[in-house]
Amino acid sequence: MKLALRLPTFDPRRVRRGVFLTCLAALCLGTQPLVLADGLPDLGDSAQGDIPPQLEKKVGESILNEIRLRDPQYLDDPEVAAYVDQLGQRLVAASADPGYGFTFFVMKDATINAFATFGGYVGVNSGLITSAQSESELAGVLAHEISHVTQHHLARGIAKEKQNSMVSMAAMALALLAASKNADVATAAIVGSQAASVQSQLAFSRDFEREADRVGFQTLEKAGLDVRGMGDFFQRLQQASRLYENNAPAYMRTHPLTIERISDMQNRAQKTPYKQVPDSQDFHLVRGKLRAQLGTPKEAVADLEHLLKERKFANEAGIRFGLAHAQLRARNFPAVEQEIQALRRLKVNSPMLENLAAEVRTAQGDSAGAAAVFKAALKNTPFAKALMYGYVDALLADRRPAEALAYLDAQMQLYSSDYKLWGLKAKVASALGRRLQQHQALAEHYALQGQLLPAIDQLQMAQRAGDGNFYELSVVDARLRQLRAQQEEEARQRR
Ligand SMILES: [Zn+2]
């Protein structure tokens, strides 16, 4: 198989984030504590080396909130996120701990990497998705990451250095909690920890790697994917690193890869009966869409047109879908329409295609047309988040806020913890001139992302909005008391 890896080039921004994430991993593996954490409550008995699961979840959640808020490489794309989550959850269901509760997110980063943080939060770089040659290869890496979590490798890493562990863990939690209120505090904490963490590039020990391979293999098999995926992908990674000695893919730096590990994987695969596992259509569409974001719009169009012309592809629809997105970036609307028609002739049936058909109308200022496409598509796939968000935006652009509100309220019965829907609700309320509702919705939008102070500010503005009735104001008061109590509790924990 031809080697097709995008190897990392030096990019100071990437290095900075790399250090940040590595430092999160390194902190938990027992580097120097950043701050004294005496008086911290509810951290469990560190003598046992156990981390209370709630603290682990809280730390994982803070890490994701921090990345989402401050890292420009966080990929805010509900379609790519939904695909990775769907594949991830399929593997979780087949894992050693199906009830654990995982959250997957994607980074816009061409380096081939994936990382597990605390509490089942797993990040996947876009470079991993575009360089995997089959869905089973991508799933193989995800299954490996999931296994690091289900086998409690982060926690076991901490247990080795019991003295510092809980302090480090708490310090990180606090730095991240502080980050949502005061950017300088977090930066100082992260910079302070860098010296120690840069040296611990190897986040997991070789024993943990072997265990994650073995358990991940079982997960992959049970989920009905091709077990050859894992070994094939790691082998290509290793070949690539041999070619570029000092520039090994990030994945190999965080997950030390050895010949022994690869042959173990291949031996295991050989003992399993051969099974052809076709890739899902979504896998190819998502790859196409990610590929369309690389380089300038012109370069992306040229790259994808070349592949199409030379017929260098495993899946035509994926390439055409990528080309359509590249043409949308290039604002060549007739070319987008042409690719959409070609995709329909290829019998592509996906909410992603309908979303694109609506987006091309939006880009041309036809919000009524976009709203109609979204509405029709939502009849077939009512739970597609990208369509939901797009529909509300299109209704707003078409000056139909009352319709948008009715639709949103119905969705929020199902998705009350979706911060994006709360953000849209704030926009809709603003368009309707409802000030109390606008601030109230913004408060939830912030609170759901762990930003308590801005949330409290918004609720105070809601109190003063002057357009709420007695009932609405009591709801705001009650919520404000709740958030203040939560905020005081976090402040107390920081002290
Ligand atoms: Zn690993």
User: Ligand 1 centroid to 329 CA: how many Å?
Assistant: 36
Residue 311, in any domain of the structure: no
Residue 219 lies in a domain: yes
Q: Which has the closest alpha carbon to 160: 52, 32, 29, 23?
A: 29
> What tokens does 419 get?
């911060």
Residue 342: burial class (beta carbons within 10 Å; 0-12, 13-18, 19+): middle
Query: How many structural domains does the chain have?
Result: 2
pLDDT bracket for residue 55 (50, 70, 90): confident
Residue 9 CB partners (closer than 8 Å, separation 6+): none
Residues in the chain: 495
Cα–Cα distance, 484 to 495 (Å, whole number)? 17
- Whether the per-residue pLDDT at 169 is higher than 80: the answer is no
Q: Which two tokens stand for residue 269?
A: 């695969």
Please, is 243 exposed, middle or buried when counting C-beta atoms within 10 Å of its C-beta (0-12, 13-18, 19+)?
Answer: exposed
Task: Indicate the pLDDT class of residue 13, thresholds 50, 70 and 90.
Answer: very low
Assess whether pLDDT exceeds 80 at residue 170.
Answer: no
- pLDDT at residue 252, as a whole number: 62
Burial call 155-191: b when 16+ CB within 10 Å, e when fewer:
bbbbbeeeebbbbbbbbbbbbbbbbbbeeebbeebbe
Residues 80 and 223 in one domain: yes
Mean pLDDT confidence for 393-407 = 98
Average pLDDT over residues 160-178: 50
Q: Which residue has the higher pLDDT, 7 or 86?
A: 86
Alpha helices in 199-315 (DSSP H): 206-222, 228-243, 250-254, 259-270, 281-291, 297-309
Higher pLDDT, 492 or 486: 486
d(CA 361, ligand 1 centre) in Å: 44
pLDDT band for position 375 (50/70/90)?
very high
The residues facing 124 across adjacent strands are 106, 114
pLDDT top residue among 218 and 56: 218
Residue 38 exposed, middle or buried by CB count within 10 Å (0-12, 13-18, 19+)? exposed
C-alpha 209 – ligand 1 centre gap (Å): 5
Q: How much is the average pLDDT of 42-56?
A: 52
Distance, CA of 165 to CA of 64 (rounded, Å): 21
Across 343-354, average pLDDT = 97
Average pLDDT over residues 444-472: 96
Average pLDDT score over residue span 370-382: 97
Q: Is residue 385 part of a domain?
A: no
Averaging pLDDT over each range in 6-15, 100-109, 160-169, which range is the top one? 100-109
Rounded distance, CA 377 to CA 156, Å? 47
pLDDT digits (tens, 9 = 90+) for 208-263: 888 999 999 999 999 999 998 888 888 877 776 665 544 555 666 566 667 778 88
Q: Taking 70 as the threshold, does the pLDDT of residue 159 lie above it?
A: no
pLDDT, tens digit (0-9, with 9 covering 90-100), for 74-107: 999 999 999 999 999 999 999 999 999 999 999 9
CA 393 from chain center: how many Å?
23
**Mean pLDDT within 67-80:** 90
Q: Which has more pLDDT, 176 or 72?
A: 72
In this prediction, residues 166-176 reach a mean pLDDT of: 53
> How close is the Cα of 67 to the center of ligand 1, in Å?
21
For the purposes of burial, counting CB atoms within 10 Å of the CB of 298, is it exposed (0-12), middle (13-18) or buried (19 or more)? exposed
The secondary structure of the chain in percent helix, strand, coil, rounded to multiples of 5, reads 70, 5, 30
Can you count the helices (H) and strands (E) in the chain? Answer: 24, 3
User: 204 C-alpha vs ligand 1 centroid, how far in Å?
Assistant: 6
User: What pLDDT does 162 receive?
Assistant: 47
The verdict on 262 and 411 lying in the same domain is: no
Residue 122 bridge partners (DSSP): 104, 116
Residue 127: inside a domain, yes or no? yes
Distance 148 CA to ligand 1 centre (A): 7
Closest CA to 408 of 399, 398, 396: 396
Tokens representing residue 268 in the block: 């295991």
Residue predicted with more confidence, 41 or 437: 437
Per-residue confidence (pLDDT) for residue 418, from 0 to 100: 97
Q: Is the pLDDT of residue 433 over 90?
A: yes
Find, among 17, 9, 33, the residue nearest to 171 by Cα.
33
Question: Which of residues 241, 270, 299 is at a domain's end?
Answer: 270
Q: Is the pLDDT of residue 387 over 50?
A: yes
Residue 406 counted as domain residue? yes
Distance 358 CA to ligand 1 centre (A): 40
- Ligand 1 center to residue 370 CA distance, Å? 44
Of the listed ranges 173-177, 247-251, 394-398, the least confidently predicted one is 173-177
**Residue 127 to residues 2, 8, 69, 106, 474, Cα–Cα distance (Å):** 17, 9, 21, 10, 49
Count of Cβ atoms closer than 10 Å to residue 303 Cβ? 18
| pLDDT average, residue stretch 434-451 | 97
Distance, CA 250 to ligand 1 centroid (Å)?
11
Neighbours of 314 (CB within 10 A): 11
Distance 202 CA to ligand 1 centre (A): 9
Residue 114 contacts residue 141 (beta carbons within 8 Å): yes
Task: Give me ligand 1 centre to Cα 154, in Å.
Answer: 11
Phi, psi of 46, rounded to the nearest 5 degrees: -70, -20
Q: Specify the pLDDT at position 34.
A: 26
Range of the domain at 184: 12-270
Residue 178 neighbours by CB under 8 Å, 6+ apart: 185, 186, 189, 494
Q: Average pLDDT over the chain, rounded to whole?
A: 81
- Any domain includes 484: yes
225 and 78: one domain? yes
Q: Which residue has the higher pLDDT, 429 or 242?
A: 429
Instruction: Check which CATH number belongs to the domain holding 475 and give it.
Output: 1.25.40
Q: Tell which of 215, 246, 270 closes a domain.
A: 270
Q: Where is the domain boundary, 245, 270, 295? A: 270
Taking the whole predicted model, whether its pTM rises above 0.75 is answered as yes
- Interval between CA 314 and ligand 1 midpoint (Å): 28
Any domain includes 251: yes
Output the six-digit token pair for 169.
Answer: 């863990």
Q: Is pLDDT of 50 > 70?
A: no
Percentage of the chain beyond pLDDT 90 is: 57
Residue 369's pLDDT is 98
**Looking at the domain assignment, is residue 386 inside a domain?**
no
User: Ligand 1 mean position to 251 CA, how many Å?
Assistant: 8
Distance 1 CA to ligand 1 centre (A): 24
User: Between 136 and 155, where is the model more confident?
Assistant: 136
Q: Which is higher by pLDDT, 288 or 45? A: 288
Question: Which tens digit of pLDDT belongs to each residue from 299-324?
Answer: 999 999 999 999 988 899 999 999 99
Distance 167 CA to ligand 1 centre (A): 25
DSSP per position, 342-361: HHHHTT---HHHHHHHHHHH
32 pLDDT higher than 80: no
- Is the pLDDT at 151 greater than 80, yes or no? yes
Write out pLDDT tens, residues 186-204: 444 443 343 233 233 335 6
Output the CA 123–ligand 1 centroid distance in Å.
13
